[in-house]
Amino acid sequence: MAHTPLLRAFVLSAGFCATALAQAAPFSADDVIAFENQWGDGIVSIGKSWQAGGDYKGEAQRLIAQTYAYDDGKVLFKPTKAAQDQFRETADQALSYFVGGGNPEDHGFAIQPWSKVRFENHEIITHDDMALAMGNYYFTDAKTGKEVKVEFSFGLMHDPKDGHPELFLHHSSLPYQPQH
């Protein structure tokens, strides 16, 4: 696959362990779909915890630690509702985006709350120890039942410590709305 050398170069230049990359099990499309479901279920769970007065912040911290590669190198994260601070380079910045509190524009995306996250992949590209997915995900508002369509791109690698999938790239945006 032509994209593999560039993808591998990015991951290695971002500070990820080459030895772990060489020893990781190959990704499959089913692995990517399972990861997407885990991530979506985590977003829903954070909102439910917030509604119940639970430890939603701790739940968000766990989701970030389990699904983003912040502990292993650089992560490219461009959240949907980020304008002034478009990119979230640290786990603390991601936490602020998901539950609010660290950045004035962050109102807590995960504590909207959402009742469901549904993925429709346009394409999944897997090559050995890395995967890319692009498509739309749909967030169902827990209060109104209305579904919101959002575009996404995920870049996944294996965690060098335990081999589970984690994001090194997450871009999310609302679809373009042409002016008439």
Show pLDDT as tens, one digit a residue, over the chain (180 residues): 444 444 554 454 444 444 444 456 789 999 999 999 999 999 999 999 999 999 999 999 999 999 999 999 999 999 998 888 899 999 999 999 999 988 889 999 999 999 999 999 999 999 888 999 999 999 999 999 999 999 999 999 999 888 899 999 999 999 888 887
**What CATH number does the domain containing 93 carry?**
3.10.450.50
**Long-range interactions of 140-148: CB distance < 8 A, separation 24+:** 140/114, 140/115, 140/116, 141/112, 141/114, 141/115, 142/47, 142/51, 142/112, 142/113, 142/114, 142/115, 143/113, 145/115, 147/118
Determine the pLDDT at residue 24.
Answer: 62
Structural domain includes residue 132: yes
Determine the pLDDT at residue 19.
Answer: 41
Determine the pLDDT at residue 129.
Answer: 87
Q: Domain range holding 66?
A: 25-173
Kindly report the pTM of this predicted structure: 0.86
Structural domain includes residue 64: yes
Q: Which residues does 11 contact at the CB level (< 8 Å), separation at least 6?
A: 21, 73, 130, 157, 168
Determine the pLDDT at residue 9.
Answer: 46
Burial of 110 (0-12, 13-18, 19+ CB in 10 A): buried
How many domains, the chain? 1
10 Å Cβ neighbour count for 87? Answer: 12
Determine the pLDDT at residue 172.
Answer: 96
Structural domain includes residue 113: yes
Structural domain includes residue 46: yes
Structural domain includes residue 167: yes
